[in-house]
Structure 1
Amino acid sequence: MSYTVKELKEFIKSNPPIPNNYSGYCFGCVNPSGLELEFWRLEESLFTFYNIPPKFSGFQGLGHGGIIATLLDEVSAWTISVNLNRLGLTQNFAVNYIKPVYINTDIVVEGKIGANDDTHVIVHAHIKDMSNKILVESNSTWSLPDKKSLARLFHIRLEDVEEVYRSFFGPIKKYFAKI
């Protein structure tokens, strides 16, 4: 289900954002030069509000297409992490730019799991304006590697992957246990 902007705004009034204890330098959430996104979950929908700053503009006041895609990719990744307690890796990412997304304009980015099994997940995401018009949509397929595969990919020890899982997912699990 997709919620209206009014419903999402009402939800965040009484719910703090999901904690982010990721230890890396993720462009979407913790990098000070990046998007610095905060996320909320309402039932199965994961969402964030954003306003594209001029430093991320494309041509003549439009949000840069790569930044728009990054917003969708990031909400998709967090949709997986929060709903499945797994780290996902983008395999295929299709974006449909329907209407312009302007800088200095409030938007909502929302994601939802489409289908999943033990090794893959499909995520549907979209960006809408404050009048609930869909501006951009994405469908993406993600692999769900096990921890040993992540250790090989990241060139770190399995124990370090375990620590990433504990430090990142532990606070998220506690957050949802309280609400």
Structure 2
Amino acid sequence: MTEKRRYIEKPVGHHCFGCGTANPVGLNMQFYPCGDMLCSDVVLRGEHVGWENIAHGGIISTLLDEIMSWSIIYFRRVFFVTRKMEVKYVAPVPVGAPLTARGRIVDPADPRHLKLAGELVDAGGRVLAKSKGDFVELSLERLPGVPEVVKEEMMRLFSIYASAGNARVSAEGAGNG
């Protein structure tokens, strides 16, 4: 039996290519917790191809960066930037087929420098691409270009995620979301 998905609230009206709701050509990813991971189901379209019927590597990289980033937002509730990311393309990623992006924190030992893993799987659970990423936490003061209204919206979402019963990720990298 499949458990009902509980999609998390995200900002509305932003233009982020990965998750933004106001970007007409973006992916508009929706996220839901799945154990110690955050997941997002996607179906890539024709405008996402590299080779015919195969997703462009940059789109695959975007999916993986976005799922790892939202894993930090959901489980850690902090502001951050991607410092470094490595992608391994395991198999061709088809367009028009159901895919799931999954992200998780793998090393929360240093809360200001997080290590994450991401993967993109097909409907059968076969890994098509995987990633490792290093992310650095930023204080609000280090985000001068981000409008205050956006910071306030994210702080509101952090509060919602916390009150939904999401404990900080443990030393083993598992959240209880």
SS at match of 1:128: strand
Runs (4 or more) in structure 1 with deviation over 4 Å come to: 159-162
- AA of the residue aligned to 1:63: A
By how many angstroms is 1:161 displaced? 6.3
1:74 to 48, 66, 72: 66
1:168 maps to 2:144: no
Q: CA deviation at 1:127?
A: 0.6
Query: Which residue, out of 18, 39, 52, partners 2:44?
Result: 52
Separation (CA, whole Å) in 1 of partners of 2:101 and 2:35:
15
Amino acid at match of 1:37: M
Letter of the aligned partner of 1:100 in structure 2? P
* Alpha-carbon distance, 1:160 to partner: 4.8
**What runs of 5+ residues in structure 1 fail to find an aligned partner?**
1-6
Correspondence for 2:18: 28
Deviation per CA, 1:108-128: give whole Å up to 9, x if none.
Answer: 110110112231101101011
Amino acid at match of 1:172: Y
2:118 aligned partner:
125
Distance (whole Å) between structure 2 residues aligned to residue 23 and residue 163 of structure 1: 14
* 62-71 or 31-40, larger mean C-alpha shift: 31-40
Summarize the Cα distance change of 1:129–1:161 in structure 2 as closer, same or farther, 3 Å threshold: closer
Aligned residues: 164
Question: What is the DSSP-based 3-state SS (H/G/I as helix, E as strand, rest coil) of the residue aligned with 1:88?
Answer: strand
In structure 2, how many angstroms separate the alpha carbons of the residues matched to 1:100 and 1:139?
19
Distance (Å, rounded) in 1 between the aligned partners of 2:158 and 2:12: 9
TM, length-normalised to structure 2: 0.83
Instruction: Give the alignment's Cα RMSD to 1 decimal.
Output: 2.2
* Percent of matched pairs sharing the same residue: 25
Retained in 1: the 8 A contact 2:11–2:154? no
When normalised by structure 1's length, the TM-score is 0.82
C-alpha contact (below 8 Å) 2:120/2:130 kept by paired residues:
yes
1:142 match: 135
Partner of 2:174: none
